[in-house]
């Protein structure tokens, strides 16, 4: 880690565009690449949403699907964190720049664009570390039987 994150400029699901510098202007952020059909993404996102909702660590989903499918996914899983769109018609330029080969893949990016952590798939311990950074416990009592790891 410690490498410079590739710059990005993506469309926001709710309209407009955003750059990496804008996302990290107030502190570290989590960028999580996903597809709506990915079962491991569906497992992971409710916990990332709890982290985002705490206000301590912003999470941004980077969808490899179109706006309609991404909006439905977000609604279906009751996600509050913002969604960005990596354009399939342009060949997923941001996913490719970040070297994403499976989803979910997430990056903890510090202000200035330094990658502090990169994780592929579901790793319960890594989600717990993010929760600690945000000052929130992402797992509830009923989550105790979650797997420790699942490939993306």
pLDDT digits (tens, 9 = 90+) for 17-48: 999 999 999 999 999 999 999 999 999 999 99
**Ranges of each domain in the chain:** 9-150
Q: Which of 59, 6, 1 is nearest to 34 (CA)?
A: 59
pLDDT digits (tens, 9 = 90+) for 98-149: 999 999 999 999 999 999 999 999 999 999 999 999 999 999 988 889 999 9
d(CA 42, CA 56): 22
Mean pLDDT, the chain, integer: 96
Average pLDDT in the 74-90 region? Answer: 95
Q: Name 124's Cβ contacts closer than 8 Å, sequence gap at least 6.
A: 139, 146, 147, 148, 149
pTM to 2 decimal places = 0.96
What is the total residue count of the chain?
A: 152
Name the DSSP class of 77.
Answer: T
Fold of the domain built from segment(s) 9-150:
Glutaredoxin (3.40.30)
Model pLDDT, residue 143: 87
- Could you give the dihedral angle defined by the CA atoms of residues 84, 89, 90 and 96, in that order, rounded to the nearest 10 degrees? 70
Q: Which of 113, 147, 84, 143 is nearest to 24 (CA)?
A: 113
């Amino acid at each position: 880690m410690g490498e410079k994150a590739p710059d990005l400029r993506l469309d926001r699901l709710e309209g407009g565009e955003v750059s990496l510098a804008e996302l990290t202007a107030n502190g570290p952020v989590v960028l999580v690449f996903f597809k709506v059909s990915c079962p491991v993404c569906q497992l992971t996102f409710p916990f990332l949403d709890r982290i985002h909702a705490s206000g301590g660590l912003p999470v941004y989903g980077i969808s490899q699907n179109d706006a309609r499918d991404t909006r439905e996914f977000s609604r279906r899983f009751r996600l509050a964190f913002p969604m960005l769109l990596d354009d399939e018609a342009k060949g997923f330029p941001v996913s490719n720049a970040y070297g994403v080969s499976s989803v979910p893949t997430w990056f903890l990016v510090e202000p200035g664009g330094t990658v502090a952590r990169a994780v592929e798939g579901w790793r319960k311990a890594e989600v717990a570390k993010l929760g600690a950074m945000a000052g929130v416990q992402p797992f509830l009592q009923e989550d105790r039987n979650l797997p420790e790891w699942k490939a993306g």
